[in-house]
Homo-oligomer: A and B are copies of this chain.
């Protein structure tokens, strides 16, 4: 697994706020930064707030930018990379639990 670089994350609404079923987190990816290349047994629903990101997800590669939404299915290997010269921001929503009731990290 390739780790994260140049990424910061903040939980905006999650279990500590009383959210009962899913959480919304806010990510900033600096120029040249990337999220981990990984997969896990729960989905992401992603909304691009600003900037442009290259997204690898399963067999697909695409560029996404502000206003775009994407679904990363459970199990799909995925990575977000900022190949631009400005920071990119996105929301990433996750269920609170997966995998027979285990807490989702960062939810």
A59, chain B: closest CB distance, angstroms? 16
In this assembly, does A17 line the interface, its C-beta being within 8 Å of a C-beta of chain B? yes
Q: Which of B13, B20, B45, B70 meets A69, CB within 8 Å? A: B13
In this assembly, does A91 line the interface, its C-beta being within 8 Å of a C-beta of chain B? yes
Interface size on A, residues (CB 8 A): 22
Residue numbers of A with Cβ under 8 A of B are 12-13, 17-24, 43, 45, 47, 49, 69-71, 73-74, 91, 93, 95
By the criterion CB–CB under 8 Å, are A19 and B47 in contact?
A: no
A97, chain B: closest CB distance, angstroms? 9
The docked-state distance in angstroms from the alpha carbon of A69 to that of B17 is: 11
List residues of chain B with CB within 8 A of the CB of A20. Answer: 43, 74
